[in-house]
Amino acid sequence: MRLAELSARSGVSTATIKYYLREGLLHPGRRVTATQAEYDEEHLRRLRLVRAMIQVGRIPVNSAREVLAALGDDELGPGERLGTAVWALPHGPAPDEADPATESARHTADALLDRMGWARDKAERTERGPAYGMLVTAIVTLTRLGYPCAVDDLAPYARAVEQIAVSDLDVVERYATPDEQVEAAVALTVLYEPVLLSLRRLAEAEESIRRFGGA
């Protein structure tokens, strides 16, 4: 398809597509004349992912480029490609290692992962770096502000996301090829975050009314 059709089918303006091409977020089309190129379904799929990351996830162009590099790395297996891609997604500030509270938060995070049976050895935790670091940072903040964040407080959340991850991967497995699965996994990680956060607030309102009475 030509650029105009790629734009129509993706809902992304031709100016934005050209910007993504210049930034290397989309691989060049197959040149057919000096001024025209031909694009295919893979361009369309990639464009959706780029849009999910940049427009919805507000992920910086550099991080998006890193994610895409991991996805396109043929030397990695699907599991590794997914891990590397999710690793490249932004995760907020890393824990401040100079802060003594970080050490204690790390113990809480480790005790939680132990209880869940996740990432059993230390190397695995380092490998899952950014998400693990984001958890440690969140625990530091909760502790500092005096809000509950013991393992017993965190465990119900971990058990709930365990079910969410099963749904996430069920959706991913509907895609036919490993390439599509890895792309969908990254896009769904980003795109389902607002779904989760909004549903949580709706569920909280529901539960709050159940306990404390109507508004």
Q: In the window 50-89, what residues touch a second copy (CB under 8 A)?
A: 51-52, 55-56, 77-80, 82-83, 86
Among 61, 128, 151, 180, binds a second copy (CB under 8 A): 128
Least separation in angstroms between residue 50's CB and a second copy is: 10
Q: Does 208 bind a second copy (CB under 8 A)?
A: yes
Q: Report the site for a second copy in 7-46 (rule: CB under 8 A).
A: 11
In one letter, which amino acid is 120?
Answer: R
What is the spatial distance between Cα 81 and Cα 179, in angstroms, rounded to a whole number?
9
Cβ proximity to a second copy, 69 vs 164, nearer residue? 164
Give CA–CA dist 26/46, Å, rounded. Answer: 7
Rounded distance between C-alpha atoms, residue 59 and residue 53, angstroms: 6
Q: Of residues 23, 91, 111, 180, which one binds a second copy by CB under 8 A?
A: 91
Report helix angle 78-88 to 178-212, nearest 10: 50
166: contact with a second copy by CB under 8 A: yes
Q: What separation in angstroms does the CA of 29 have from each of 2, 20, 24, 25, 61?
A: 9, 12, 12, 12, 20
53 φ, ψ to 5°? -70, -50
CB of 134 to a second copy, least distance (A): 4
For a second copy, which stretch binds (CB under 8 A), given 21-29, 31-39, 59-67, 167-175? 167-175
